Homo-oligomer: A and B are copies of this chain.
Amino acid sequence: MSSPRLTETSYIVLGLIAQIGPATPYDLKRLAQVSTVNFWSVPHTQLYSECARLAGEDLLSERREQTGRRRRTYRLTERGREALERWLSEPTSELEQVRDTATLKLFLGGDPQQLAPTQLQAHRAQLETYEQIYGSFVGDAPQGWRLALEAGIDHERAYIRFWSRLAGQRAREGSPARSR
């Protein structure tokens, strides 16, 4: 049991199982791919190790098939549900962490005019994907899913505005060949 030391990844596992019921790591993997990826990416191998770890902490219970693939199915324990509820009810003042290669290039001196078209295309495609998913939620999706997706859509729109602005700008002031 010891000191739990739960990370965000732990709560993704606990939280998804809470929403969909008993699941295998593989189920979680597929689910994470379409839902969570937007604001928290987890490599799939970690879902396997994380489930095992949480089972060791008695936050999940594990049942394993005796034959064939010997799949492990996990479900929430009472302790697990408590830990999740506790975490969910605490607000956080933590800010987002972002890693964006294109902005980095811009920062280090990349040419806006050259970067913008590619980024615009990528972000427009992403926005379209999100909107499609959003459209497929009728009333059945949990509130949290809708809200998180709305946040993602907002951000894609912000990126599109940003890169559009750069694309639409004449080569910008005399731009003295800085640095060196």
Q: Mark A134-174, 1 if CB is under 8 A from B, else 0.
A: 00000000111101101100110111011000100000100
Contact (Cβ within 8 A) B106 A101: no
Q: Is the CB of A154 within 8 A of B161?
A: yes
Query: Secondary structure at chain A's binding surface: helix, strand, loop or mixed?
Result: helix
Copies of this chain present in the complex amount to: 2
Q: Which of B88, B96, B143 contacts A178 (CB 8 A)?
A: B143
Interface residues of A in 102-124 (CB under 8 A from B): 102-112, 114-115, 117-119, 121-123
A118-B91 in contact (CB<8A)? yes
Q: Mark A11-24, 1 if CB is under 8 A from B, else 0.
A: 11001101100000
Interface size on A, residues (CB 8 A): 69
Q: Chain B CB within 10 Å — which of A40, A84, A112, A161 has the most? A: A40
Contacting residues, chain B, for A121 (C-beta < 8 A) = 93
Contacts of A40 in B (CB 8 A): 98-100, 103-104
A and B contact pairs by CB, cutoff 8 A, 23 listed: A39-B99, A40-B98, A40-B99, A88-B108, A88-B109, A91-B105, A91-B118, A91-B119, A92-B101, A92-B105, A94-B101, A95-B100, A95-B122, A96-B98, A96-B159, A106-B148, A109-B142, A109-B143, A109-B144, A142-B178, A143-B172, A155-B155, A157-B158
The 7 A-B pairs with the shortest beta carbon distances in the complex, nearest first, are A15-B108, A96-B100, A91-B118, A107-B148, A93-B122, A39-B103, A88-B110
